[in-house]
Amino acid sequence: MAWSDPIGLLLQAGMAQLEGSTPSALKYLHDAAERFERADMSLYLAVARRRIGALQDDERGRELQRQADMWMAAQNIKNPARMTRMLSPGFPDMT
């Protein structure tokens, strides 16, 4: 199903991160984000982008995280970090 595959990828990213493989986690996150966007799953897309931004310490990662935070603010999500932790476990705490 269009929604189940990217959620599976998001969970795989968390498992990869727990196993200490940030490159694998990033690969899964990018794949998940692409599929969330195609499936019009905006909340999960924002969550994946926040995770990418936290792991990918470069300008592109920071921009993805900024986009995610702006989208969440527009949806009246008061604590994007908590929402992200709830929907994508397995990553270190983020601000």
Give me the domain span that covers residue 53. 4-87
Residue 92: inside a domain: no
Give the count of beta carbons closer than 10 Å to the beta carbon of residue 92: 9
Residue 80: inside a domain: yes
The first and second tokens of residue 38, run together, are: 């195609």
> pLDDT tens, 3-18?
899 999 999 999 999 9
The first and second tokens of residue 66, run together, are: 């900024």
Residue 50: inside a domain: yes
Please spell the DSSP secondary structure of 31-64, one letter per residue: HHHHHHHHTT-HHHHHHHHHHHHHHS-SHHHHHH
The first and second tokens of residue 28, run together, are: 């899964």
Domain count within the chain: 1
Residue 95: inside a domain: no
Owner of token pair 């397995």: 90
Residue 36: inside a domain: yes
Is-above-0.85 flag for pTM? yes
- Judge whether residue 81 has pLDDT over 80: yes
